[in-house]
Structure 1
Amino acid sequence: MANKKPQKKSTDTPTAVQPSAPADTTSTPETAPQAEQPHGISKVSKGVFFVGIAVALVLGVYVGSLMPSVFTQEPAQQTPAGQTQTASQPSGQAKQDSQPPIPPELAAKIASMEQNVLANPKDAHNWTDLGNLYFDTGQSRKAASAYERSLALAPDNADVLTDLGIMYRELGEYEKAVTSFRRASSVNPKHENAMFNEGVVLYFDLKRKDDAMKAWQRLLAVNPAARAPDGQSVSDVIRNLR
């Protein structure tokens, strides 16, 4: 599995990695197609963004006076050895939000959405859309902050909770990622991406293998034919990793 890269659309079956909700500034994120509405194993999408097993094998915020801080430049994160990691590296530790230059059209879209949230900070959809744009451009810390603010206004959005979990994992905040995935599953017990990603973080990042198996077993109880983003059935994943 690979790390997530966004697109906005939630689909509940573990497929390709993309954000659960669209970064479209004029529309709200879709929910996962289960009874609601996103990414697969080579990516993670909003709501459907899978943390990715292949890669893994190789290896609360508020809306208020601090709103502008979401838009400030993120400092490079350092590894324990003091070396800056690139955004392309697998997430075994917090990654630096450094990525190729953002295309002018997308940069303009982000700037426009930032103005929208400043003008109407109590609109959860605006915060979600801004988070999706940050998600798509590899700005994990900013994306997490935007999602947190969206959830402060609308706490029961399983797709946003799943995307937030994906961002936490990108930042190396594994316990918070698991908590976010579990909240998503609590809101929507059929959210396959949340359960799948929970298992990935538990197994590969936190080394809590028994808990990971339980998360994947819950997924199989919802959908016995569930597949990981690389096409492998989740039942096979469990069998191979036991």
Structure 2
Amino acid sequence: MIRFPCLRPDQGPQARIRVNGVILMKKETILIAVAALLVGFLGGFLIFSMNSEKTNRQDQAQVSALAAPLPDHGRRIAETEAIIARDPGNLKAWISLGNDFFDSNQPSKAIQAYAQALEIQPANPDVLTDQGIMFRKLGWYDKALANFQKARALNPRHLQSLYNMSIVYTVDLKQPDRAVPLWEAYLREDGTSETARQVRELLASMTRQGDHPARK
């Protein structure tokens, strides 16, 4: 199975850690959500989306419980909901709640939590991307694409959203003519990583199978 991590442009290989065979990024304020899918011609891929925010000391103290890795999602969710009950405008708490619903495979609740976060901070490409992955989980591909496109418009170098758009067109909608230009755009921005190598393999496979017309 090929694992396909989608990394932020400013995070290099030295920041990676491996958890249960999955490559993640080691950074203090990153919250990572992962979704797995299967592709016939290349096996398995992973879609990564990362929420990373700058926090001051007061914010970090307020949500220190949220930053600790807790295996019990139910307990963590309850703690976060208690914080939100006291402070409904707590952006980090809403994002953390969405991430825990994401990780515990509760897409509808994750979507709702991310929606609350976006009410507070609409121009957050990371939250838009995570919510888009949950839309995709429910089969709402149009909504997923809309989120990824918004994220990309907000940050043209947001590789996660570009990657995820490409996956939806390739795997879910089976529209290679729309997927190929997106994969090529990805390679123009990331031409050297392991992800880029796998994207090239994917494009080569699509070409061999005649899944897209010859480029002029």
TM-score (norm 2): 0.66
Determine the C-alpha separation between the residues in 2 that align with 1:147 and 1:169.
14
Match of 1:172 in 2: 139
Contact preservation (8 Å) 1:51, 1:197: no
Determine the C-alpha separation between the residues in 2 that align with 1:2 and 1:222.
21
- Residue 142 to residue 17, structure 1, CA distance change in 2 (3 Å): farther
Amino acid at match of 2:111: A
Determine the C-alpha separation between the residues in 1 that align with 2:158 and 2:194.
13
Amino acid at match of 2:8: D
Contact preservation (8 Å) 1:225, 1:234: no
Determine the C-alpha separation between the residues in 1 that align with 2:78 and 2:158.
32
Determine the C-alpha separation between the residues in 2 that align with 1:105 and 1:236.
38
- Residue 232 to residue 223, structure 1, CA distance change in 2 (3 Å): closer
SS at 1:122 equivalent: coil
- CA drift of 1:241 comes to 1.6
Aligned pair count reads: 169
Contact preservation (8 Å) 1:128, 1:147: yes
Match of 1:198 in 2: 165
TM-score (norm 1): 0.59
- Which one of the candidate residues 137, 147, 150 is aligned to 1:183? 150
- CA drift of 1:188 comes to 1.8
Match of 1:215 in 2: 182
Q: CA RMSD in A?
A: 3.4
- Residue 136 to residue 104, structure 1, CA distance change in 2 (3 Å): closer
**Following superposition, which runs of at least 4 residues in structure 1 exceed 6 angstroms of deviation?**
1-4
Q: Which has the higher contact order (CA 8 A, sep 6+)?
A: 1
Q: Once the two structures are superposed, what CA deviation does each residue of 1:17-41 show, in whole Å capped at 9, x if it has no partner?
A: 87x9x9xxxx8x53xxxxxxx6xxx
SS at 1:235 equivalent: helix
SS at 1:149 equivalent: helix
Q: Once the two structures are superposed, what CA deviation does each residue of 1:171-214 show, in whole Å capped at 9, x if it has no partner?
A: 11111111111111122211222111110111111122111112
Match of 2:201 in 1: 236
- CA drift of 1:125 comes to 1.4
Contact preservation (8 Å) 1:225, 1:233: no
| Residue 57 (str. 1) matches residue 22 (str. 2) | no
Determine the C-alpha separation between the residues in 2 that align with 1:51 and 1:143.
17
Match of 1:100 in 2: none
Bigger share in helix: 2
- Residue 154 to residue 17, structure 1, CA distance change in 2 (3 Å): farther
Task: State percent identity of aligned pairs.
Answer: 30
- Residue 17 to residue 202, structure 1, CA distance change in 2 (3 Å): farther
- Residue 120 to residue 56, structure 1, CA distance change in 2 (3 Å): farther
Determine the C-alpha separation between the residues in 2 that align with 1:56 and 1:192.
20
SS at 2:184 equivalent: helix
- Residue 151 to residue 2, structure 1, CA distance change in 2 (3 Å): farther
Structure 2 gaps of 5+ residues are 10-15, 17-21, 42-69, 208-216
- Residue 3 to residue 112, structure 1, CA distance change in 2 (3 Å): farther
Match of 1:12 in 2: 8
Determine the C-alpha separation between the residues in 2 that align with 1:165 and 1:171.
10
Structure 1 gaps of 5+ residues are 5-9, 31-37, 39-44, 59-102
Bigger share in strand: 2
